[in-house]
Amino acid sequence: MRSILAAGAIAIAALGLAPTHASAQSTLRIGLAEDPDVLDPTLARTYVGRIVFASICDKLFDIDAKLNIVPQLALSHETSADGREVTIKLRPNVRFHDGEPMDAKAVKFSLDRHLGMQGSFRRSELSVVDAIEVVDPTTVRLKLKAPFAPLLATLTDRAGMMVSPKAAEAAGDRFGAAPVCAGPYRFVERVQQDRIVVERFADYWDKDKVSIDRIVYRPIADSTVRLANLKAGQLDLIERPLATDVPEIKKDRNLTLQSVTELGYQGMTLNVANGDAAKNPLGQSAKVRRALELAIDRDAINQVTFNGLFTPANQWVAPDNAWYDKRNPVPGRDVAAAKKLLAEAGVKASLAIDFMVPNNPETRQVAEVIQAMAAEAGFDMKIRVVEFATGLSEAEQGRYQAFMLAWSGRPDPDGNIYSFAKTNGPLNYGKFSSPDLDQALEESRTATTREGRKAAYDKVADVWLKDGSVIYLYHRAMLIAHTNKLKGFTLLPDGMVRVVGLKMN
């Protein structure tokens, strides 16, 4: 077989079909782990979509390496004393890709579109905004229904992306087929599931720092193949290689690996009040939930599955995050204590648990390890692998007892906890409910000082980490591997590929 293959390949090489490399323009080829959804900032929802937006749609604000909020299309901002008015000064003389001015009117248009468009996924993020006023061509004022600390952080993501009013009005809900924003690159073409091509925008406000002519994004789902493309020189940068492939990448002298702890987390959601499945010791007793947590060795999971590259987690933000509650460090494994808690809760025989696991090879492996660990403490975790769509419905309808759930993360801690822990929050799959917790969560949003918010989050931690319905497991390392020819790339915790300042040698 091999020799036949080899003979064929020689024929191919002789025909001159081998890939050609030379090209006059400089092109950056990026391998994505999935195919992005629609490229409309109002309607988009996927993580990979945000990576593409990073080159075509600038935002009012951005984050820096320390998660501070820095201006991008905005110049500055000011919040009124009562926290109900945010005034944003805009960068002057900025143009959209179609030449339209990116001014206060355009900002009002974009934010109104986010708020009012049918099917907008930005609506809830911005729901606190009552009205947007154009003060002058370079100033807008956001009137809020209540003080809302996470607002600016929200504007560092898709809600802060501004679209050309002219193009958006013309295209309606088909805007995503050819988005027109104010980013360093303009959209050229997209072939679904094959490639998205963007080219340098000559009138970009910061054009001196943009030197690569074109960027091609290619979705390649298989991580082995994605890495193969990088090694073979068909791609210049790939996102999310496997942790287990890291030694191989490091061995390759042509490649650079960058790593940063993610903003999100991977955890296990427990059903405490969502339907009949919650009516069992795990759902009813916080002691049993803590016993399960104590049965799990997070370090071992990290070592076995991720070569020790990830960060064991016990909270909704990573231990190196400024909002992490240092009073509650990551607990170690303690099988004896777990058994004792189970006995106190009156659980005698091995406790069977319906453990719903999304069908992702890594998650499945983690689930198998947890299964083995929990068994030693007296839990019989029955793994049920479900595909994505089924998992969502099952979770919604409460047909699970434990559920492996990942969250991609937001720069502001609010995005990682509020909707998960608040009574009837849309992401509160376990239907946990506690009035004290709800109040603390509200305080965390309305507090106007950082200290005030931190105090509120400490109150959240007191309830949530003791009784709550999520066992946090680990924070992934966001990995990006790229060729050494690419210079000037820095990876921030959100995992985005920021293209301003990049050079290809």
The residues in 326-385 that bind other proteins, with binding defined as CB under 8 A, are: 357, 359, 361-362, 364-365, 367-369, 371-372, 383-385
254 binds other proteins (CB under 8 A): no
User: Which residue number, 94 or 367, has a Cβ lying nearer to other proteins?
Assistant: 367
Dihedral angle computed from the Cα positions of residues 453, 454, 459 and 460, in that order, rounded to the nearest 10 degrees: 80
User: Which residue number, 147 or 264, has a Cβ lying nearer to other proteins?
Assistant: 264
Question: What binding mask, one character per residue, do residues 110-129 give for other proteins by CB under 8 A, x or -?
Answer: --------xxxx-xx-----
Report CA-CA distances (Å) from 123 to 77, 164, 170, 179.
22, 19, 21, 19
CB of 287 to other proteins, least distance (A): 27
Query: Do residues 82 and 141 lie in contact, with contact meaning Cβ atoms separated by under 8 Å?
Result: no
435 binds other proteins (CB under 8 A): no
CB of 440 to other proteins, least distance (A): 22
The residue from 242, 342, 500, 502 that contacts other proteins (CB under 8 A) is 242
The residue from 76, 98, 174, 352 that contacts other proteins (CB under 8 A) is 174
The residue from 248, 334, 443, 467 that contacts other proteins (CB under 8 A) is 248
Dihedral angle computed from the Cα positions of residues 67, 407, 144 and 49, in that order, rounded to the nearest 10 degrees: 80
Query: Do residues 211 and 199 lie in contact, with contact meaning Cβ atoms separated by under 8 Å?
Result: no
The residue from 197, 304, 335, 455 that contacts other proteins (CB under 8 A) is 304
24 binds other proteins (CB under 8 A): no
Strand partners, 260: 478
Considering only residues 32 to 91 of the shown chain, the ones binding other proteins according to CB under 8 A are 35, 37-38, 40, 43, 45-46
- For residue 382 the two structure tokens come to 């029955």
461 binds other proteins (CB under 8 A): no
Complete DSSP assignment for 453-491: HHHHHHHHHHHHHHH-SEEEEEEPEEEEEEETTEES---
Choose the binding region for other proteins from 18-26, 108-116, 140-148, 488-496 (rule: CB under 8 A): 18-26
Rounded-to-integer distance, Cα 41 and Cα 459, Å? 35
12 binds other proteins (CB under 8 A): yes
Question: Whose CA is closest to 199, among 215, 210, 182?
Answer: 215
Rounded-to-integer distance, Cα 497 and Cα 51, Å? 6
User: Which residue number, 93 or 303, has a Cβ lying nearer to other proteins?
Assistant: 303
User: Which residue number, 102 or 111, has a Cβ lying nearer to other proteins?
Assistant: 111
User: Which residue number, 94 or 338, has a Cβ lying nearer to other proteins?
Assistant: 338
- For residue 70 the two structure tokens come to 């820095």
CB of 60 to other proteins, least distance (A): 19
Considering only residues 218 to 237 of the shown chain, the ones binding other proteins according to CB under 8 A are 218-225, 228-229, 231-234
CB of 80 to other proteins, least distance (A): 27
Rounded-to-integer distance, Cα 354 and Cα 399, Å? 9
Please name the residues in contact with 218: beta carbons below 8 A apart, sequence gap of 6 or more: 29, 30, 31, 32, 194, 195, 229, 235
CB of 202 to other proteins, least distance (A): 25
Considering only residues 175 to 194 of the shown chain, the ones binding other proteins according to CB under 8 A are 176-177, 191-194
Please name the residues in contact with 113: beta carbons below 8 A apart, sequence gap of 6 or more: 42, 120, 163, 168
Question: On the CB side of 230, how many CA atoms lie within 13 Å of its CA?
Answer: 36
CB of 249 to other proteins, least distance (A): 11
